[in-house]
């Protein structure tokens, strides 16, 4: 049976950088902790939110077992060379427990990044993603020879000591657009999609169509479809998994036939910690049986 993976977002809001929730996850069947790489809380700019890369380093030092991810780093305004070095550094600090998500949205985050990013055309955003993923991939593999692209140019880059994971840490590409999914098919280890509203039926129908196109791209590229992990991020607007112990099993049953093996959820409120732990300890193991 294909291994299922379950993750939870941990928002670094203050000095404890989400450490309390992170350490609670260690005693559950949750596998991965993720953070967003944004310039602030996209839903509430007045809400406290620490830098994702700095907090990932702290979380890597706090834990020994749980995997750590960025989902996603936005290559519309993030420099790919810097992202590669950030990712390599966290992989080293975590002793090989880091995964890197890349994308070219969301618009609110690009608004905070300034007018150049916000007014960028959709084509340029995907162009930057496509080139940036290739730059990051080659640097994380230790290929530091000169590169001269449309958006990134360098003579050499210092990437020592390199990744702990071999040949590099996993790369996730998130997006639902035709070209973005093609980038995932060509270069990523995981494709991530997301549901951000309560119309699960409509999202499911759209996902069936997207997966069919993704499989066609993989076949054209000569790539085994099972070599690309399918990942689903579930926003709170779509589902509160902590108020209903059957919500996650129903979601898995619904999307596993499309090849989804990774499911990531938004964190519980403090008053939901008991339900969160119960689901993580008692419900998730039954899904892996």
**The total number of residues written for the chain in this structure:** 289
Q: Give the pLDDT band of residue 93 (cuts 50, 70, 90).
A: very high
Which of 228, 181, 265, 215 lies closest to 2 in space, CA to CA?
Answer: 228
Judged by average pLDDT, the poorest of 10-19, 239-248, 256-265 is 10-19
> How many distinct structural domains can be found in the chain?
1
CB atoms within 10 A of CB 183: 24
Residue 71 has a pLDDT of 94
The whole-number pLDDT of residue 166 equals 97
Kindly report the backbone phi and psi dihedral angles of residue 59, in degrees, each rounded to the nearest multiple of 5, phi listed first: -65, -35
| Cis previous bond, 167, omega within 30 | yes
pLDDT confidence band for 113 (50 / 70 / 90): low
If phi over 0 gives left and psi between -120 and 50 gives alpha, with beta otherwise, what is residue 156?
beta
Closest CA to 152 of 118, 128, 181, 169: 128
pLDDT at 1: 47
Mean pLDDT over residues 94-101, rounded?
98
pLDDT tens track for 65-85: 999 999 999 999 899 999 999
3-state secondary structure the chain: CCCCEEEEECCCCCCCCCHHHHHHHHCCCCCEEEEEECCCCCCCCCCCCCCHHHHHHHHHHHCCCCEEEEEEEECCCCCHHHHHHHHHHHHHHCCCCEEEEEECCCHHHHHHHCHHHHCCCHHHHHHHHHHHHHHHHHHHCCCCCCEECCCCEECCCCCCCCCCCCCCCCEEEECCCHHHHHHHHHHCCEEEEEECCCCHHHHHHHHHHHHHHHHHHHHHHCCCHHHCEEEEEECCCCCCCCCCCCHHHHHHHHHHHHCEEEEEECCCCHHHHHHHHHHHHHHHHHHHC
Range of the domain at 132: 5-288
Choice among 36-40, 209-213, 215-219 with the minimum mean pLDDT:
36-40
In angstroms, the CA 41 to CA 52 distance is 11
For residue 70, the cross-strand partners are: 35, 100
Read off the CATH number of the domain in which 84 is found. 3.20.20.30
Compute the distance between CA of residue 174 and CA of residue 171 in angstroms, rounded to an integer. 10
Average confidence (pLDDT) over 26-47: 86
pTM of the model: 0.95
Smallest CA-to-CA distance from 23 within 10, 36, 14, 5 is with: 10
Residue 112 has pLDDT above 70, yes or no: no
Nearest to 266 by CA among 231, 230, 235: 235
pLDDT of residue 41: 76
Percentage of the chain modeled with pLDDT above 90: 77
Question: What is the rounded CA–CA span in Å between residue 18 and residue 186?
Answer: 34
Average pLDDT, the chain: 92
How much is the average pLDDT of 37-57? 85
């Amino acid at each position: 049976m294909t291994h299922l993976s379950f993750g939870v977002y941990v928002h670094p809001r203050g000095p404890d950088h989400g450490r309390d929730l992170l350490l609670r996850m260690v005693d559950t069947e949750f596998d991965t902790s993720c953070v967003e790489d944004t310039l602030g809380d996209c839903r509430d700019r007045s809400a406290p939110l620490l830098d994702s890369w700095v907090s990932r380093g702290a979380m890597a030092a706090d834990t020994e077992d749980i995997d750590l991810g960025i989902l996603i780093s936005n290559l519309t305004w993030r420099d790919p060379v810097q992202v590669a070095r950030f990712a390599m550094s966290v992989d080293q600090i975590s002793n090989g427990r880091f995964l890197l998500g890349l994308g070219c949205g969301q618009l609110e985050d690009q608004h905070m990044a300034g007018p150049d990013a916000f007014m960028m055309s959709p084509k340029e955003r995907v162009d930057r993603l496509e080139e940036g993923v290739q730059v990051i991939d080659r640097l994380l593999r230790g290929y530091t020879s000169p590169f001269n692209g449309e958006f990134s140019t360098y003579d050499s880059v210092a990437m020592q000591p390199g990744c702990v994971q071999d040949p590099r840490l996993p790369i996730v590409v998130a997006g639902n657009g035709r070209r973005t999914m093609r980038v995932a098919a060509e270069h990523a280890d995981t494709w991530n999609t997301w549901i951000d509203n309560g119309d699960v039926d409509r999202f499911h129908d759209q996902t069936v169509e997207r997966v069919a196109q993704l499989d066609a791209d993989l076949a054209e590229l000569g790539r085994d479809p099972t070599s690309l992990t399918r990942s689903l991020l579930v926003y709170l607007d779509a589902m509160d998994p902590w108020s209903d112990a059957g919500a996650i099993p129903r979601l898995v049953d619904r999307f596993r036939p499309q090849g989804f093996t990774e499911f990531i959820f938004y964190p519980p409120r403090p008053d939901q910690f008991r339900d969160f732990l119960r689901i993580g300890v008692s419900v998730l193991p039954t899904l892996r049986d």
